């Protein structure tokens, strides 16, 4: 039976194969997509991870700021 894509290595492997196939199709002029779209499977997972980490960092900074404000208001 087929196993689901549940490990990062399998997901990155599938993205690499998809990106390679799309690059070959673009190079042979079978598809007329922009290179940004064609290479998206190669850089997309890393961009999503980076975006998620940025959102997490902003949320942590916001939580610390709220905690700091609450401590300052207790002193009043």
- How do residues 63-76 score in pLDDT, each as one tens digit? 999 999 999 998 77
Per-residue exposure over 43-74, b if at least 16 CB sit within 10 Å of its own CB, e if not: eebeeeeeeeeeeeeeeeeeeeeeeeeeeeee
pLDDT digits (tens, 9 = 90+) for 26-44: 999 999 999 999 999 999 9
Structural domain including 26 reads 8-74
The answer to whether residue 2 is domain-embedded is no
The answer to whether residue 3 is domain-embedded is no
Tokens 């499977």: give the residue: 41
The answer to whether residue 25 is domain-embedded is yes
* Structure confidence at residue 6 (pLDDT): 67
Rounded to two decimals, the pTM is 0.70
Q: What is the DSSP letter of 24?
A: H
The answer to whether residue 1 is domain-embedded is no
Extract the tokens encoding 31: 């598809």
């Amino acid at each position: 039976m087929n196993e689901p894509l549940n490990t990062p290595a399998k997901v990155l492997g599938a993205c690499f194969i998809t990106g390679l196939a799309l690059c070959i199709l673009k190079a042979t002029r079978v598809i007329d997509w922009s290179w940004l779209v064609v290479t998206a499977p190669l850089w997309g997972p890393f961009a999503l991870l980076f975006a998620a980490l940025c959102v997490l960092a902003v949320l942590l900074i916001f939580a610390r700021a709220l905690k700091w404000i609450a401590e300052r208001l207790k002193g009043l």
